[in-house]
Structure formats: structure tokens, C-alpha cells
Amino acid sequence: MNFRGNIAWISLERGYGYISDDASNTYIFHHCNILPTKGTKMLSIGNLVSFTVLAGIRSNQAVEVKLIS
């Protein structure tokens, strides 16, 4: 199931961040394990994204995060 939200906080140096989920008004953890390639935008605070949620070890995790232009 796809969700929509905004990047609430991100640290590219540390490789993770949080997405504010529009539907549930909660924060979802996101591990930034894919570096952007040439021609793709870096994620930054406030960007609108779509994502899928997986159950993680400690909490839910956003995966397949895609920037909505």
C-alpha cells in the first residue's frame, strides 16, 4: 500500500531520516541506503514523497520512497 507524506527530518551523512505520514499524522523512519544518481534530486526537508511501509525491528520503516514532483 502506498502512502504520502513530507520529509520531516533527514541526515544524509548519517543515512536516515523521518517522514511525516499525511494519513496517520505520525513519523515513519526512513533509512537512506540508496545514493542519488546523476540527474536525480536529493531528498530534503519538506519534499512531498510517496512510500510503502514495512514492519521493522523497532518500528515501522518507509521503503520505496519516491519524490513526488
The answer to pTM > 0.85 is: no
Distance CA 30, CA 9 (A): 10
Report in angstroms the alpha-carbon separations of 25 from 5, 6, 31, 36, 38.
9, 10, 19, 27, 33
Q: What is the pLDDT along the chain (69 residues), one digit of tens a residue?
A: 799 999 999 987 888 899 999 888 899 999 875 555 455 567 889 999 999 999 978 888 998 888 886
Rounded CA separation 45/47 (Å):
6
